Structure 1
Amino acid sequence: MWPITGFPPRETLILDEYREKRATYDKLLQVVKDVLADSIKSNNLYINAIEARIKAEDSLAGKLERKAGKYSSLSDLTDILGVRVITFYSDEVDKIAAMVGRLFEIDWENSIDKRKMHDIHSFGYSSLHYICRVPKALFEDPAYPELNSIRFEVQMRTALQHVWSVLDHDTGYKSGFEVPKEYLRNLNRLAGMLELADEQFCAIRTGINNYRRQVQSLVHSGKFDEVALDGDSFGNYLELRPFDSLNERIAAINQAEVHETSLAGYLKVLLFLGFKTLGDIEKMIKENSEDAYQLAAFQLANTDLDIINSSLALVNLCAVHILKRGGGVLELTRCLDELNGVSKVNRRRAEHLYERAKKLAFMETAGG
């Protein structure tokens, strides 16, 4: 238990003050964590973790002993309470920083951006550190009157920066002993790789987001031939509800209702059929809607079905597309296998569909 014999008297008083205010620090930790978590959620930010700790008494005593005479009171130490927000992407560090700046009072003179402290020869990097206070407008509790005067540290870094920091610590890179040059070089290379990975992950995400916005713009402007068929583009395309018109015509046969179901799974079927762009789907709809309607009418004839699935139009469009190109039961079965997984039931469904389609006019020229 500190203090020990010979421990400086001023530092002994600081330790005593630490013990007296420990409950206030515990309360402050919970307040800060809750405020950050709530704000991150309300701002739709997705992070890796929020970590928080109160400096242990032994750790504080060791610091006071090493830096005897530097601190006059506990309030001079800004890292008794430390909070770390770990993000996935480097650009999110700045978003978190902006949020922290709005929430808390920032001691700018003692805050530091360690990301900017490295020269051209250094690969290492660290986090953004803000020294903060909780303003009374944000939180106030008469039971803890000193809570709003206590400074604490918020560190913001990426997950890879955090990995580097842990590696630094565990390898003793900054522990004060001389690291052999061969190991130091490898550590620097590793840091450079992590830094590059951080940058590339951020650049890739930015590129993907830009692509999605471009796809959305092209889809909603009707430039379907310019949009490659993939998960993002198909999802945007389905928002236009391109199969509703045909489904409504089919439903009208029996005055049925259309039961909505997800069509996202049909992407793999369309890719299996060789479609490359959204324009290929549009072409299929234009060329095959009437025949798909006739096939559905034949299927529903002499039935009293009053509910149809919203996938029926697309299923029949795909079937007509296959049959018009000379496909038969085997091709229909493969399509159903692609959609539902391989099953003997798919073969029977394909045979049934083919037998009905054979009686329709478009089959007379199919494959020609």
Structure 2
Amino acid sequence: MQPNRESIDSIWENNPDLIRKYLDLLPRHEKLCEEVQYILESKLSDAKIEIAHATSRAKTLQSYCEKIGRKSYSNPLKEITDLAGVRVVFLYLSDLEKIEKTIEDEFEVIEKENKLKNNDTEKFGYGALHYLVKIKQLHSGARYDDLRDLICEIQVKTILQDAWSIVAHHLSYKNENDVPKSLIRKLNALSGLFETADDQFESLRTARNQYIEDAEKEISKNNPKYFEQRINLDNLIAYIASKFPERRKCDAEEYSNLLHELISSGYNTLSELDESINKGLELALKEEVEDPPLNGESEPVGYLDIGIIRTALAISNEEYCVYKYGTNSTMYLNYH
């Protein structure tokens, strides 16, 4: 969208310093966005908090001028608090408290508004969590020195809260007074459906975690009846956690990739998988000692949990070895 020339020209004519100062500050606000997003993504990853994505943006000249045109400011660059903004879109409502703690630990909080905890059933829309923050002294270094006096807005939303805000934005409904009376009921019903879906995602996550926990218990007891179950992603994850509890874990996507490899190689049940792993495990452990994988510093490290499984299966199962590595088990061992 091109800048609204009328609003920009009007401000330039009446108070050109407002635009000059905005443009002077723009590179700093863009840098602030980058740094706040980097800190958040890094710290949330360290805390094992799953997010869909994080984005950032500095307020455009068009948006800045339009906001000045709509409201009365004595000092816009001080009073407009969203000149720099970061949005974190996360997956599950139960992670919200951990995200709040991360933000409040890492940044100086100027203002916090939690629209999710508003119990007014007539409240328009589907809210989110908003912060105004500054970079704390604990983030040291020259890269931060020029940014400490600036304010950044952080919005924290679930995927469905983000979807609601996108829909509302395109409809241009800021509040309930903007909505025709004939549409208010439909719009509020829609926001209720979004909220219910968020609750259902959380319930699904809880049920899945319980399924994996129960599966681990059955597998740890070597329940033969349970091992005859068909392999699915969740009982495979439980099996690996029980079989190799001390091994470092892979990324979540790798478990799904392994499941596809197993099914494509003819595995149907956990008992079939367990038998093949046990058959090749001794040689796989020997292979790990004699030719260990290396880390980024060329230092020997042990296999990850899926690594030891793939090695054992490549040794014990020709069909899997050909499918995964394009060679038979003998050639695989000779190559390694």
- Normalised to the residue count of structure 1, the TM-score between the two structures is 0.60
Residues 72-127 of structure 1 show CA distances to partners (whole Å, capped at 9, x for unaligned) of 362333211011011122223333222222211112xx210011235123472221
User: Which SS does the other structure have where 1:191 is aligned?
Assistant: helix
Tell me which residue corresponds to 1:82. Answer: 85
Tell me which residue corresponds to 1:19. Answer: 23
Q: Equivalent residues in 2 for 1:129-208 (5 A)?
A: 129-141=130-142, 145-174=145-174, 178-208=178-208
Give the 3 Å change call, closer, same or farther, for CA 166–240 of structure 1 in structure 2.
closer
Distance 2:208 2:265 in 1: 19
Tell me which residue corresponds to 2:10. Answer: 4
Distance 1:132 1:92 in 2: 20
Verify the 8 A CA contact 1:173 1:179 in the aligned structure 2: yes
Alignment of 1:50 onto 2:48: no
Paired residue type of 2:82: D
Distance 2:213 2:205 in 1: 12
Verify the 8 A CA contact 1:91 1:202 in the aligned structure 2: yes
Give the 3 Å change call, closer, same or farther, for CA 235–191 of structure 1 in structure 2.
closer
Q: 1:28 aligns with which of 32, 35, 40?
A: 32
Give the 3 Å change call, closer, same or farther, for CA 5–208 of structure 1 in structure 2.
closer
Q: 2:98 aligns with which of 95, 98, 107?
A: 95
User: Which SS does the other structure have where 1:50 is aligned?
Assistant: strand
Displacement after TM superposition at 1:157 (Å): 0.1
Displacement after TM superposition at 1:32 (Å): 1.5
Structure 1 unaligned regions, length at least 5 = 242-260, 272-277, 286-307, 316-339, 341-368
Alignment of 1:116 onto 2:117: yes
User: Which SS does the other structure have where 2:131 is aligned?
Assistant: strand
Paired residue type of 1:47: I
Distance 1:73 1:183 in 2: 35
Structure 2 unaligned regions, length at least 5 = 244-257, 276-313, 324-336
Tell me which residue corresponds to 1:310. Answer: 316
Distance 1:237 1:105 in 2: 44
RMSD between superposed Cα atoms in Å: 3.7
Verify the 8 A CA contact 1:215 1:227 in the aligned structure 2: no
Residues 301-343 of structure 1 show CA distances to partners (whole Å, capped at 9, x for unaligned) of xxxxxxx94249xx9xxxxxxxxxxxxxxxxxxxxxxxx9xxx
Verify the 8 A CA contact 1:234 1:264 in the aligned structure 2: no
Displacement after TM superposition at 1:239 (Å): 6.5
Q: Equivalent residues in 2 for 1:268-347 (5 A)?
A: 270=268, 281=271, 309-311=315-317
Percentage of pairs with the same residue: 26
Tell me which residue corresponds to 1:219. Answer: 219
Residues 160-189 of structure 1 show CA distances to partners (whole Å, capped at 9, x for unaligned) of 111111111112332786533332211111
Distance 2:20 2:12 in 1: 16
Give the 3 Å change call, closer, same or farther, for CA 155–223 of structure 1 in structure 2.
same
User: Which SS does the other structure have where 1:173 is aligned?
Assistant: coil
Verify the 8 A CA contact 1:87 1:159 in the aligned structure 2: yes
Residues 196-252 of structure 1 show CA distances to partners (whole Å, capped at 9, x for unaligned) of 1111011101110122112212321344546782423355446666xxxxxxxxxxx
Give the 3 Å change call, closer, same or farther, for CA 152–5 of structure 1 in structure 2.
closer
Paired residue type of 1:168: A
Tell me which residue corresponds to 1:210. Answer: 210
Distance 1:177 1:119 in 2: 16
Distance 2:238 2:264 in 1: 14
Distance 2:242 2:136 in 1: 48
